[in-house]
Copies of this chain bind each other. A is one copy, B any other.
Amino acid sequence: MDIKSYVLEKAAKAKSAARVVGKMNAEAKNLALLKMADVLETSKDNLIQENKKDLEAGRQAGLSTSILDRLELNEPRIRQMALGLREIAALPDPVGEILKVRQRPNGMSVGRMRVPLGVIGFIFESRPNVTADSAALCLKAGNAVILKGGSEAINSNKAIIALLKEAAESQGFPADAIGFIDTTDRQAVMDLLKLDDYIDVIIPRGGEGLIRAVTENSKIPVLRHYKGVCHVYVDAKANLDMAENICFNAKTQRPGTCNAMESMLVDQSVAAQFLPKILKRFADAGVTVKGCDKTMKLDASVKPVETDDYHKEYLDMVVNCRVVSGIEEAMEHIAEFGSLHTETIVTESYANAMRFLREVDASAVMVNVSTRFNDGFEFGLGAEIGISTTKLHARGPMGLEELTSTKFIVLGQGQIRV
C-alpha cells in the first residue's frame, strides 16, 4: 500500500473508532488506563530492549548527548510513565459535563454539554514517555488518537503503542482508538495534515522547525506553541529579594524548558541595586549573561546583547538582560520580542500588577511567581498534552478539558417559535 492510502486508512478507522470511544463511560476508560500502566511495567525489559535499538541508531547517526538522554527509557522512567497513566485515570472524566444551564423566559432550559473533539492527530519528537501520556489523555477525553513519533524513537514508540493498544482492547476499546503511523517516511505527516474530513485537530510537540512545518502544511486546525521566549520584568516597586529568587529560578531551575526565562527586564530605578547581586548569582551558577549597555556598565563580565538575541529561545544557561525605563517600555519589549508564552512581573505596586495582567498578551501572565509554573500540573489541570499559544480554543497548558468541545443542549416542553 502506498503511504497516502496507508495514512487515509488509519484516519478513516480512527474516525469510526472515535464514535465508539466517545460513548464509553469513565469506569471503562479508567480501567483501560490502569491496565496500560500495568502492562508497561510488566513489559519493561522488552521496552528497554527496543529502546536500545533506537539509542544505538541514534549514536551512529551522531545525535547529541542531550537528545540521546531524552530518548532513553530506563526502569525509573517506565515507572514514571505508568504513574502518569494512573494519575490520568484518577482525574474526573470531562465528557458529559453539563455547564451553564439557564432557563429562558419561555421556560426551556439552555446549557452546554462537554463532548469529545473526535480524532486528535499528535505529532511529536524524541521523548517516548510522551507517547503514553498523550494517548491516555486523548482516550480519557473520549477521543481517538493518531500518533506520529519521530524517526529516532520508532522502535520505542512501536513497542509502547503495541502495549497500549493491547491493554485498551482488552478493556473494550475499539482496535483503532489508538492509531500509530508506523513509518519514518516524512511524506506520511504531509498526507496526514490534509485529512480534515477525518481528523479534528493536530497537536504537534517538538522543536520550532517541526511545529512550523506542521502549521504551514496543515488543512486541520493546529494547537501549538512555536517557542517560549519568556520574560521576567523587575518593576521599580519590586521586592528585590523576591525578584532575585524568581529570576534565578525562572532561568536555572530547568533551563531546557519552554517556560524558562530567556530575557530579564529591569526598571532603571532599581538596576544599580538589583543587578549586581543577581548577575553574581548567575555567574556563580554558570549562566552566561548578555546585556544592554546599562547592564554592561554595572558588570564587566556581561557580553553585549544583539537585537536578534531577544528573539532567541536559548533553552540553555544563557540569559539576556535589559534595563528599561519602566513598565511601559517593558511591555513594549514583551509585545515585540515575546512569543505569547509566559510573562511575569515582580512588583509590590497594585496598579502595575493590574496593568501588566490586563495588557500583556501571552498564554499566561503572572505576578510575583516564577515563569516555570506555566504547566498543566502546576496550574491544577492534571496532566497536559502541551501548551498552546494560539488564541482559538485552548490557550496555555492543555489538559483533559482542552481535548473536548461543547455542544448546546436544550430541554423543552413543546416550545415553538412565534
Chain A residues near B (Cβ < 8 Å): 19, 23, 96, 102, 104, 108, 110, 112-113, 115, 117-118, 200-201, 221, 223, 239, 242, 245-246, 248-250, 253-254, 335, 357-359, 361-370, 372-374, 378-380, 391-393, 395-397, 405-418
Contacts and interface: CB of A to CB of B under 8 A. Distances in A.
30 contacts: A19-B335, A104-B380, A108-B373, A112-B396, A113-B358, A200-B391, A200-B392, A221-B392, A239-B414, A246-B414, A246-B416, A364-B407, A364-B408, A364-B409, A364-B410, A365-B408, A365-B409, A365-B410, A366-B411, A366-B412, A367-B412, A368-B411, A369-B410, A373-B415, A374-B408, A374-B410, A391-B405, A395-B405, A395-B407, A396-B408
Closest 8 CB pairs of A and B: A369-B412, A249-B416, A364-B408, A366-B410, A391-B405, A242-B414, A372-B417, A392-B393
Nearest to A369: B412
Chain A interface secondary structure, helix, strand, loop or mixed? mixed
A200 B112 CA distance: 25
Interface centre among A223, A239, A249, A392 (most CB of B within 10 A): A392
A81 B369 CA distance: 48
A396 B358 CA distance: 28
Given A23-B358, A372-B416, A392-B405, 16 more contacts: A23-B359, A104-B379, A108-B369, A110-B380, A115-B361, A200-B391, A223-B392, A249-B416, A250-B416, A368-B412, A368-B413, A368-B414, A370-B415, A373-B415, A379-B408, A397-B408
A211 to B, nearest CB: 14
Contacts of A248: 416
A415 B369 contact: yes
Contacts of A239: 414
How many monomers of this protein are in the complex?
2
Nearest to A374: B408
Contacts of A23: 358-359
A417 B368 contact: no
A387 B239 CA distance: 49
Interface centre among A249, A369, A395 (most CB of B within 10 A): A369
Nearest to A216: B219
Contacts of A96: 358
Nearest to A370: B416
A368 to B, nearest CB: 4
B378 A104 contact: yes
A257 to B, nearest CB: 10
A249 B412 CA distance: 14
Contacts of A242: 414
Nearest to A404: B391
A358 B221 CA distance: 25
Interface centre among A19, A221, A368, A407 (most CB of B within 10 A): A407
Contacts of A254: 417
A391 B117 CA distance: 6
A108 to B, nearest CB: 5
B245 A416 contact: yes
Contacts of A378: 104, 417
Contacts of A366: 409-412
A344 to B, nearest CB: 8
A174 B374 CA distance: 34
Contacts of A358: 23, 96, 113
Interface centre among A368, A372, A412 (most CB of B within 10 A): A412
Contacts of A363: 407-408
Contacts of A368: 411-415
A311 to B, nearest CB: 15
A113 B23 CA distance: 32
B221 A407 contact: no
A407 B365 contact: yes
A281 to B, nearest CB: 13
